[in-house]
């Protein structure tokens, strides 16, 4: 088992204009490519865990999202970075068919997406880190037993996810720092 970095997508890695799925709207958040490179240099596998309730609400299809993710991987490859896997929750509590069923166990802050990835890829959650821009991201990480951080921390003078990445590596993976 090895540790990993779990990342939210919208407003953590990429700019969110609200239920983003169009490739033409793809845009990195400031510092995101640098953060991904730092984690890669530290030898940490990268996973995205994302709530995509727009699927359940009918705003876009799973195929639309998969096309967006293929583009995201291609853009990451320009920086020599690859996401090992991307896990998503397609459900939404306001969707028609959700009301009949129990709430899903994958919509963050539920930890289902992280549990599934950890099992599939043999990841040690207790030494892993989740990063996101919302409290639901922090909750999902903590509910899965990971350390969890917001994508930036202005109070601590870490205004971008690149600053956070450097801090997280120093704090949690000091033996993996590149000189």
Beta-bridge partners for 87: 49
Question: CB under 5 A: which stretch of 24-32, 69-77, 86-94, 158-166 binds Zn ion?
Answer: 86-94
- Cβ proximity to Zn ion, 23 vs 116, nearer residue: 116
Q: What is the residue-wise DSSP string for 50-76?
A: EE-TTTTTTSS-HHHHHHHHHHHHHHH
- The site partner of 10 among Mg ion, Zn ion, none (C-beta below 5 to 8 Å per kind) is Mg ion
8 scored as a contact of Mg ion (CB under 5 A): yes
- Please name the residues in contact with 67: beta carbons below 8 A apart, sequence gap of 6 or more: 21, 23
- For residue 96, give both structure tokens: 């028609």
User: Could you say which residues in the range 128-147 bind Mg ion, by CB under 5 A?
Assistant: 133
Cα separation, 59 vs 17, whole angstroms: 13
- Please name the residues in contact with 96: beta carbons below 8 A apart, sequence gap of 6 or more: none
x/- site string to Mg ion, residues 11 to 50, per CB under 5 A? x---------------------------------------
92 scored as a contact of Zn ion (CB under 5 A): no
- Cβ proximity to Zn ion, 101 vs 175, nearer residue: 101
Parallel, antiparallel or unpaired: strands 85-89 and 129-132: unpaired
69 scored as a contact of Zn ion (CB under 5 A): no
What is the binding site for Mg ion (CB under 5 A)?
A: 8, 10-11, 133
Q: Which residues bind Zn ion (CB under 5 A)?
A: 89, 91, 104, 106-107
């Amino acid at each position: 088992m090895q540790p990993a970095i779990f990342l939210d997508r919208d407003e953590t890695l990429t700019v969110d204009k609200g239920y983003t799925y169009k490739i033409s709207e793809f845009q990195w958040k400031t510092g995101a490519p640098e953060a991904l490179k730092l984690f890669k240099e530290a030898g940490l596998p990268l996973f995205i865990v994302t709530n995509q309730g727009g699927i359940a609400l009918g705003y876009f299809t799973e195929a639309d999202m998969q096309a967006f993710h293929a583009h995201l991987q291609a853009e990451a490859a320009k920086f020599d970075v690859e996401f090992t896997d991307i896990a998503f929750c397609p459900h939404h509590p306001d969707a028609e068919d959700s009301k009949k069923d129990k709430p899903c166990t994958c919509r963050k802050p539920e930890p289902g997406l992280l549990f599934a990835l950890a099992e599939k890829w043999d990841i040690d959650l207790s030494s892993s880190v989740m990063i996101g821009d919302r409290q639901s991201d922090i909750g999902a990480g903590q509910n899965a037993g990971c350390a969890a951080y917001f994508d930036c921390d202005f109070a601590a003078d870490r205004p971008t996810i690149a600053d956070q990445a450097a801090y997280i590596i120093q704090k949690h993976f000091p033996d993996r720092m590149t000189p």
